[in-house]
Amino acid sequence: MPRIRQDNVTAAQWSTNGEALGSPDLTVAGNQVFGANVFNTAVQRQRLPKDVFKALSSAVARGEALDTSLADPVAQAMKGWALERGATHYTHWFQPLTGMTAEKHDSFYGPTGDGTAIAEFSGKELIQGEPDASSFPTGGIRATFEARGYTAWDPSSPAFILENPNGALLCIPTGFVSWTGEALDTKIPLLRSMDALSKSALRALQLLGDDSAGRVFTTVGPEQEYFLIDEQYYYQRPDLVTTGRTLFGAKPPKGHELDEHYFGSIPERILACMMETELELAKLGVPVKTRHNEVAPNQYEIAPTFENSNVGSDHQQLTMQLLQNVARRYGLVCLLHEKPFAGVNGSGKHNNWSMGTDTGINLLEPGDTPSDNIQFLFFCAAVIKAVNKHQALLRASVANVGQDHRLGANEAPPAIISIFLGAELERVFETIASGEAAASSDNGFLGLGTPVLPPLPMHGGDRNRTSPFAFTGNKFEFRTLGSSSSLGLPNTVLNTIAAEAIDELADALEAKLSDGTSLDEAVVAIVKDAYVANRQVVFGGDNYADEWHTEARERGLQNLPTTPDALPWFVHEQTVGVMSKYGVLSERELESRYEVAVEQYFVKLNIESETAASIARTMLLPAAVRHLNELLASGREGLVDEFAPLIADFHEAIVALEQANGDPGLEGMELAHYMRDTVVPAMTAVREVADTLERLVADDLWPLPKYSEVLFIK
């Protein structure tokens, strides 16, 4: 299809097309839709028998197994509620190792034998499903012909209704396990890790003098970045359709160097799309708080407030799904790839993580009193210890092929994991490490060289956007996740390694208290030892600077720039030890995730490389040849001499890529290394020539929409 300006005119035109939501009076209770499509606590209280509701609520609050005798009344109430909302089918909604969600729909209605049908839904159907699902990646836990797998209801994440123009679907969040009991998903390990951290944190709290808490929850508040582009351009680019990113594209004259897009006025069509997305998310109980323009043109962000890690992870999957679904109603396509446009900022997902008790105490809140300070310093020191020891595993937990384009690209944290504490908090730990009291700072912030602990400031310094793991007041922001990532694995890792570190510090605290040391003195001594042993992971400077790579190496920090570098840490002895100890992932379950991640890496790269070769051979090369023919016909020898060698170079590069795409006879990590070291450079070589040709070939001959169109026409 020839490129003509009419395409751009068409893309730039938009009207509400009947999709306008209107502006309801939100002071009217009936216009409040938050949670309207969720089988939440309020609905359960209204529809369940009192004894059933009490037992269900208690089990969820304590993280205990649910009495199966309660399943039937819950199922009946859930069915009645769903039918009233137009749901004809239900599904066990689960999260396999694809990083996405999965569902198989079953009808509520069954024939009665007299030519009619009746809606049925039993407790057995609520609790357990058998979706077959033999083709999901399992990393060797079961062979393809071993089809049996089970979905198990997760009562701690409420069921919800997904609406469709032609009906509705009841979605029941579930875990997914093999018939031998191994976790085949991201939810079950996350729940296990939350239980592990709760046990470790409760033990530490009791030593610290807090006997009131009955459970500790981890919380997440993910900031989701994404691109929205006109669907016309999307479908004119086979690379976007097939791989989610542009495999070709020259740098446009204007990118985001003027900084006018960041936090700028949101374009009308984009804002309309955002508002409908937020409305749909509100119905599902997702507490969306923030929306704004991001740095890159046509890049945006949406963020919720904090939630329980399990529910928050479920909601994050719904957020990605609805962003993509609603965008289509506005003639847009949502791109969640980590780096859809070369040379333009990519998209991440900032994972704001903290720990809190069921009594409402945030364990990473500095607090206003000395007793709060003791608790905060203990848990903060545990996080520092955990991140330093397991920095490579944290890097592996966010590794994928898209991240290899994004991490370290001066728009995202580098592949080196370090912690930013802020100037004041770092000074606190350094003062404790020195063992000497420090003078007050300008903030009236005393040193902590003595057991008399003064108040700590919540915001003791500026933020550091280059840090991969930053303390931001009452939480740590794990900034390294990719835009398309599930929250399950990174938060599973965070919870588990924190549980280990908390236990190790609790062991030391218990020993000191048994020796008669006062609590204040014991905590200061333990925090000092933990910080001194792990301070190398704390860095407050520019993580983008080249000098940091040298310094990090001297500090002994891991630098794992590519996915094949990071993935072996899934099966490292240290990882197997901590995950097995806390019952989060067995060695076999870890090996399966390693195998799946390796396979996804080389399969996705193979899809990209074959797509690149096809586009180059069948679209770009013919366009270049047509342009050359026009130059030859013009008789302008200088132009021909300039252009003809590029075609020869392009053809040579395409042939080399096609040869690299052949089967090398390798498997597993060897194939991953081959893709990284041979195929990726071959793709890069083709792109370099193609992007040069894009600047020279006649515009009406070039077959792909250009960055200057895709990114700036809204």
CATH number for 68: 3.10.20.70
**What letter does residue 416 receive in the DSSP assignment?**
B
pLDDT of residue 254: 81
50-54, 66-70, 131-135, 338-342: lowest mean pLDDT where? 131-135
Among residues 324, 235, 340, which one has the least CA distance to residue 273?
324
In a domain, 650, yes or no: no
Same domain (yes/no): 172, 256: no
Predicted pLDDT at 455: 54
Query: What are 203's two structure tokens?
Result: 């033990």
CATH number reported for the structural domain that contains residue 364 in this entry: 3.30.590.10
Q: Is it the case that residue 458 has pLDDT exceeding 60?
A: no
Within this chain, do residues 213 and 103 fall inside the same structural domain, yes or no? Answer: no
Domain final position from 532, 567, 597: 597
Give the span between the Cα atoms of 426 and 127, in whole angstroms. Answer: 48
Q: Does some domain include residue 602?
A: no
Lowest mean pLDDT among 35-44, 186-195, 316-325, 401-410: 401-410
Query: How much is the pLDDT for 146?
Result: 63
State whether 235 and 130 are in the same domain. no
CA distance 337 to 250: 18
pLDDT in tens, 182-225: 999 999 999 999 999 999 999 999 999 999 999 999 999 999 99
> Can you spell out the DSSP letters for 33-61?
-TTTTB--HHHHHHHS-HHHHHHHHHHHH
Model confidence over 671-694: pLDDT tens digits?
999 999 999 999 999 999 999 999
Residue 120 lies in a domain: yes
640's CB contacts (< 8 A; 6+ apart) are 628, 631, 632
* Coil vs helix vs strand at 494: helix
Q: Determine the pLDDT at residue 340.
A: 97
pLDDT of residue 440: 38
**Average pLDDT of span 490-510:** 98
Which of 139, 162, 185 lies at the terminal end of a domain, its last residue?
A: 185
Same domain, 232 and 362: yes
Backbone angles phi, psi at 670, to 5 degrees: -60, -40
Q: Are residues 92 and 223 in the same domain?
A: no
- What is the model's pLDDT at position 143? 65
Rg of the Cα atoms in the chain? 28
Name the CA dihedral angle for 315, 318, 320, 325, rounded to a multiple of 10 degrees: -150
In a domain, 314, yes or no: yes
Looking at 556, 572, 597, the residue that finishes a domain is: 597
pLDDT band at 20 (very low <50, low <70, confident <90, very high): low
Contact predicate 163/37, CB 8 Å: yes
Share of the chain above pLDDT 70, in %: 91
The residue segments making up the domain with residue 370 are 193-597
What was the pLDDT predicted at 445?
38
Q: Say if 90 falls within a structural domain.
A: yes
Residue 439 predicted with pLDDT over 50: no
Between the two ends of the chain, the Cα-to-Cα distance in Å is 21
Residues 62 and 166 in one domain: yes
DSSP bridge partners of 581: none
At 410, is the pLDDT very low, low, confident or very high (cuts 50, 70, 90)? low
C-alpha to C-alpha distance for 655 and 640, rounded to whole angstroms? 23
**Residue 314 and residue 176 share a domain:** no
Stated pTM of the model: 0.93
Buried b (16+ CB within 10 A) or exposed e, 664-703: eeeeebebbebbbebbbebbebbbebbbebbeebeeeebb
Partners of 92 in the β-ladder? 172
Instruction: Classify residue 693: in a domain, yes or no.
Output: no
Task: Report if residue 221 sits inside a domain.
Answer: yes
Between 344 and 412, name the one with better pLDDT: 344
Residues 20 and 637: their CA atoms lie apart, in Å, by 57
Do 174 and 223 lie in a common domain? no
In terms of DSSP H, where are the helices of 22-118? 41-47, 50-62, 71-84
Residue 631: closest CA among 613, 617, 646: 646
The pLDDT value given to residue 61: 80
Whether 369 and 475 share a structural domain:
yes
Q: How many CA atoms lie within 13 A of 286 on its CB side?
A: 29
Helices (H) and strands (E) in the chain, counts: 25, 17
| Overall domain count for the chain | 2
Q: In terms of domains, do 121 and 206 share one?
A: no
Residue 521: count of CB within 10 angstroms of its CB? 13
pLDDT of residue 175: 95
Domain assignment present for residue 309? The answer is: yes
- Show the tokens assigned to 562: 């590519």
How far apart are alpha carbons 388 and 408 in whole angstroms? 19
Rounded to 5°, angle at Cα 116 from 114 and 117: 125
Average pLDDT over residues 262-274: 92
Same domain, 84 and 225: no
126 shares a domain with 85:
yes
